[in-house]
Amino acid sequence: MLFFLRMLLLAVHFVIASVVGLLIGLCRPFNPDNSRWCARVYGIPAMWILGLRVKLEDDTVRDHQRSAVIVANHISNYDLMVFGLTVPKRTVSLGKKSLKWIPLFGQLYWLAGNVLVDRGNAIKAKKAMLTTTDTLQHKDMSLWVFAEGTRGHGKGLQPLKKGAFLMAINAGVPIIPICSNNYVRGMRLNRWHSGNVIIRSLPPIPTTGMTSADVPALMADCQARMAACIDELDRKAGTTLTR
């Protein structure tokens, strides 16, 4: 019964939060700080509705002052709300173009200044990447990327894709990994306290002086750091996968 009540409340909240986010976007279209405010609007009430306890560890990413590419692990559809409290100022995200067709949410996502990429069109995708690189270099903004490209559904960190790392190297900005435990493993939405989420940002990985030839090593370094962090957070939160 509690599960169905939560899903109903979450659906109502999603519509209300989307309307509020859309109004924010209409009042100040494409403002680079819109995404942070919208993330809070979605995230704070949603964590209460879902009964998830969120703990932020070493959350230096919120105070990061210069442009960066923020790489987060992608666990489930709830990530939009779970990571909502950690989005720093002047940060936009990278999303697939089809998101803009979702009623209300798609329009606010666009008005918030996020980058929409048409993954089925290589020329348009490359143009969007070049535009984003220029933004990172000259507009004092950061980019949030779920670099796995797909949800892991609690199965652990999937292989990272190279797009985010190429953009960071081309723009000369650091990579900041941010990790959450695989919270969906322990989620029990039919209980009042449904689970624990621990989020930790890792020290920035500099890219100064790197070229495209350094991408594989940079990706491997980031993958190893994030995997080790996620394993530690899983143990702390009690969401370690039993085999």
Q: Quick one: tokens of 103? A: 């009623």
Pairing of strands 91-96, 142-146: parallel
Could you tell me the CA-to-CA distances from 176 to 88, 186, 200 in Å, in that order?
A: 12, 26, 11
Residue 80: partners with Cβ closer than 8 Å, 6 or more residues away: 39, 42, 43
Digit-coded pLDDT (tens) for 141-196: 899 999 887 887 778 899 999 888 998 998 999 999 999 999 999 899 999 999 99
Residue 189: partners with Cβ closer than 8 Å, 6 or more residues away: 2, 3, 6, 7, 50, 51
Digit-coded pLDDT (tens) for 103-140: 888 888 888 888 887 766 666 666 777 777 777 877 78
- Residue 158: phi and psi, rounded to 5, are -85, 165
Digit-coded pLDDT (tens) for 33-58: 899 999 999 999 999 999 999 998 86
Q: Model-level pTM greater than 0.85?
A: yes
Q: What is the mean pLDDT of residues 219-236?
A: 96
Could you tell me the CA-to-CA distances from 1 to 29, 83, 193 in Å, in that order?
A: 40, 27, 14
* Residue 193 identity (one-letter amino acid): H
Cα atoms in the Cβ-side hemisphere of radius 13 Å centred on 225:
19
- What's the pLDDT band for 243 if we cut at 50, 70, 90? very low
Percent of all residues in the chain with a pLDDT value above 90, rounded to a whole number: 55
Cβ neighbours around 45 below 10 Å, total:
18
Pair 218, 210: CB distance under 8 Å? yes
